[in-house]
Amino acid sequence: MCGIVAYIGNKQAYPIIIEGLRRLEYRGYDSAGISLLNGDLHTYKKKGKVQDLENFAADKNKEGTMGIGHTRWATHGKPDDLNAHPHVSGDGNITLVHNGIIENYAQLKEALAELGHEFKSETDTEVLVHLIEEYQKRDNLTIEKAVQKALKKAVGAYAIVVFDKREPNKLIGARKSSPLVLGLGKDEFFLASDATPIIKFTNKVIYLNDEEIVNINRDGTYEVVTIDNELQSPVVQEIDLKIEELEKGGYDHFMLKEIHQQPQTILESMRGRINAEEGWVLVGGMQDHMKRLKEADRMIFAACGTSWHAALIGEYLFEDLARIPVEVEYASELRYRNPVIREKDVIVALSQSGETADTLAALEMAKKKGALLYGIVNNVGSSIARLTDCGSYIHAGPEIGVASTKAFTSQLVVLSLMAINLGKERGTISEGYYRQLLHAMEAIPAKVQKILEQDEKIKYIAGEIRNAQNALYLGRGYNFPIALEGALKLKEISYIHAEGYPAAEMKHGPIALIDMYMPVVVIATNQSAYEKVVSNIQEVKARKGIVIAIVLEGDKEIKKIADFTIEIPETEEPLSPLLSVIPLQLLSYHIAVMRGCNVDQPRNLAKSVTVE
Ligand code: AGP
């Protein structure tokens, strides 16, 4: 997935675009580039980060009040200067940036080459800008019409911004399956992959819909049309994002800031949805479809990565508390395996970004089969949020660190409240237990804060295992998905290979791996299977494994046998993942920092995978 920023107005475009690209680097950082128009077209692009682009452009002409910029996560063509965006047409007049994949680029490239077009890069994007050039020349079209015609020919996903150096007062944006936001400033316009590069200048935005094109004019006018030239009446929204939410706020990394924000973000996710004193929980997104939700004879949870781990906990919650059968699917598998999905089914999609291609595609498939779609999303106005029939925003605020932390716990809050709400509606939990769960939920933020205060101890433990080559995470029941999540966190930011397993499964294979070099993180907070987890720990110790145990405050038995223990407060078991994940987030963070890894932008990763 890539980041796009573009500007037309009365200010110098370069600083605006560069700062905007920095805010979007979490979307991809293989290479970066910018095109500026100041009488002539100047395009600078470089492998590496935005800083590398800035260094390269330091002594170049950076004047101009219109420009387009791009930070890349490579799909077609390796990360290098030639494959970096923007891409320029053969005649040097048109420049374009793109997020997405043009699936029929090979056929188009072949046809264009036969017409004499020569390509400098391996990218699908360069084909698109040559296609626009071809239509413009062959059919004597304006740049707007040439873009429209080319997009009708292109198959796949795109968010593009393009301009023709001979039209210094026109900037064109378009999207299909990849996000593009239009910012409406005072005598100036912005286009970006999300609102973060825009909010410093304006909070008035339009989220473009699929197959929509926005033709912007420097005189302050604009129009939104479809690729079939149907004039649209877009809705201007006012977003309440604040610029300081996008800064590190004194922390070394966004990930650390976001881990420490969790007492607050968990509270935000609950706000207006629960009152233990008065004894109610109310998840607004469910109310209009409560009958269909509570009578569902099956729910399918679809997600990817960390959101899939949240979905797995959702299964435990909904079956345990609301007695509704749940199936959890990797979205990328669900969309391709020709599943049985009926009109009665409810599909719950979890996605922090709301733009993950596989999750979006799975939802589109389910929608065609008539299922009810429910979205649990963080990114307001995102594609998944707008595709679903109903849903709940998790209100975790912008999550910049590529490794998801606060969004994960906020997803768990929403899932827990939904399960409690449905359990109450269906009468599958007693009034007493209902009240207990409400009070336990409201106590979570303070308990998270208490765990965060053990950061120094967790950092010490990180130092003891930072050179491990492999690690094993074990958990039971509600904490089995947390074992998976802890392992993913370690893998994706420290590059240590780690696997999560149900604790009881260890003896069915993984135990063969255990030796004195293997750290084994055991989540041992379950009251319901405590003795069994103690046995698992003894089995590891018998093979000289290094045991880091997450235990309840006051635990004595495990403290005697584990190498390291981290104590966390007790809570109702269905809510325990909200607490047991916190030490694992900090552990992976500190190990990654000690190993000199780029915590906020780990190699090969991107914050939201909007390509398949
Ligand atoms: C989480 O730490 C990962 N960066 C990744 O697995 C992520 O959860 C996954 O790509 C899904 O993203 P989404 O929640 O935005 O759909």
CA distance 442 to 552: 19
* Ligand 1 close to Cβ of residue 403 (< 6 A): yes
Lay out the sheet containing 181-184: strands in order across.
Answer: 40-47, 31-38, 66-72, 3-8, 189-192, 181-184, 204-207, 237-238
What lies within 8 Å, CB to CB, of 114 at 6+ separation is none
Q: Which residue reads 């995978």 in tokens?
A: 609
Q: What atom of ligand 1 comes closest to residue 488's alpha carbon?
A: 2
Q: What atom of ligand 1 comes closest to residue 356's alpha carbon?
A: 16
Asked if the model's pLDDT at residue 611 lies above 70, the reply is no
- Among 205, 243, 259, 305, residue whose Cα is nearest residue 22: 243
Percent share of the chain, pLDDT over 90: 83
Q: What are phi and psi of 266, to 5 degrees?
A: -65, -40
Q: How many CB atoms lie within 10 A of CB 367?
A: 16
Q: How far is the CA of 482 from the centre of ligand 1 (A)?
A: 15
Task: Please compute the mean of the pLDDT values over residues 354-369 and round it to a whole number.
Answer: 94
* Ligand 1 close to Cβ of residue 304 (< 6 A): yes
Taking the CA atoms of 161, 378, 272 and 375 in sequence, report the sign of the dihedral they define.
Answer: positive
Q: Read out DSSP for 300-322?
A: EEEE-HHHHHHHHHHHHHHHHHS
Q: At 55, which amino acid appears?
A: N
Which of 78-87, 148-157, 316-325, 368-377 is the least confident region?
Answer: 78-87
Task: Please compute the mean of the pLDDT values over residues 63-86 and round it to a whole number.
Answer: 88
Asked if the model's pLDDT at residue 495 lies above 90, the reply is yes
CA distance 3 to 12: 20
The answer to whether residues 43 and 34 touch, using CB atoms and an 8 Å cutoff, is yes
Q: Which long-range contacts (CB under 8 A, 24 or more apart) does 184-189 make?
A: 184/236, 185/9, 187/9, 187/10, 187/220, 188/7, 188/8, 188/9, 188/10, 188/11, 189/7, 189/8, 189/9, 189/216, 189/222
Which residue among 328, 588, 609 has the greatest number of ligand 1 atoms within 8 angstroms of its CB, and so is best to mutate? 609
CA atoms within 13 A on the CB side of 424: 20
Whole-prediction pTM value?
Answer: 0.79
CA distance 550 to 559: 10
Q: Which residue reads 């039209």 in tokens?
A: 167
Q: What is the 3-state secondary structure (H, E, C) of 534-602?
A: HHHHHHHHCCCCEEEEEEECCCCHHHHHCCEEEEECCCCHHHCHHHHHHHHHHHHHHHHHHCCCCCCCC
Taking the CA atoms of 349, 360, 398 and 499 in sequence, report the sign of the dihedral they define.
Answer: positive
Q: What is the pLDDT of residues 541-582, one digit of tens each?
A: 999 999 999 999 999 999 999 999 999 999 999 999 999 999
Q: Tell me, what's the pLDDT at 248?
A: 79
The answer to whether residues 481 and 312 touch, using CB atoms and an 8 Å cutoff, is yes
Lay out the sheet containing 299-303: strands in order across.
Answer: 326-330, 299-303, 346-351, 372-377, 390-393
Which residues participate in catalysis according to the annotation?
A: 2, 607
Q: Tell me, what's the pLDDT at 247?
A: 76
Q: What are 331's two structure tokens?
A: 């979205």
Which of 51-65, 458-472, 479-493, 597-611 is the least confident region?
Answer: 597-611
CA distance 101 to 76: 8
Task: Please compute the mean of the pLDDT values over residues 333-356 and round it to a whole number.
Answer: 94
Which of 21-30, 183-192, 281-290, 325-334 is the least confident region?
Answer: 21-30
pLDDT band at 146 (very low <50, low <70, confident <90, very high): very high
Asked if the model's pLDDT at residue 494 lies above 80, the reply is yes
pLDDT band at 185 (very low <50, low <70, confident <90, very high): very high
Q: What is the pLDDT of residues 415-428, one digit of tens each?
A: 999 999 999 999 99
Asked if the model's pLDDT at residue 588 lies above 80, the reply is yes
Q: Tell me, what's the pLDDT at 351?
A: 97
pLDDT band at 263 (very low <50, low <70, confident <90, very high): very high
Q: Which residue reads 């080559």 in tokens?
A: 469
Q: At 94, which amino acid appears?
A: I
Q: What is the dihedral of CA 495, 501, 503, 505, to 10 degrees?
A: -130
Which of 65-69, 296-300, 409-413 is the least confident region?
Answer: 296-300
pLDDT band at 95 (very low <50, low <70, confident <90, very high): very high
Q: How far is the CA of 607 from the centre of ligand 1 (A)?
A: 7
The answer to whether residues 546 and 474 touch, using CB atoms and an 8 Å cutoff, is no
Helix (H, G, I), strand (E, B) or coil at 134: helix
Mean residue pLDDT across the chain: 94
Q: Tell me, what's the pLDDT at 610?
A: 67
The answer to whether residues 524 and 551 touch, using CB atoms and an 8 Å cutoff, is yes
Instruction: Write b or e for each residue in 506-516: b if 16 or more Cβ atoms lie within 10 A of its Cβ, otherwise e.
Output: beeeebeebee
Q: Tell me, what's the pLDDT at 25?
A: 78
Which residue has the least CA distance to atom 4 on ligand 1?
403
Which residue has the least CA distance to atom 6 on ligand 1?
305
Q: How far is the CA of 382 from the centre of ligand 1 (A)?
A: 15
Q: Cα dist. 66→130, 219, 426, 444, 583 in Å?
A: 21, 13, 58, 49, 47
The answer to whether residues 480 and 461 touch, using CB atoms and an 8 Å cutoff, is no
* Ligand 1 close to Cβ of residue 349 (< 6 A): no
Structure-model confidence comparison of residues 446 and 178, the more confident one: 446
Asked if the model's pLDDT at residue 74 lies above 80, the reply is no
What lies within 8 Å, CB to CB, of 299 at 6+ separation is 318, 324, 325, 326, 327, 345, 346, 347, 348
CA distance 557 to 537: 11
DSSP state of 409: H
Q: What are 143's two structure tokens?
A: 């740049």
Q: Tell me, what's the pLDDT at 109?
A: 96
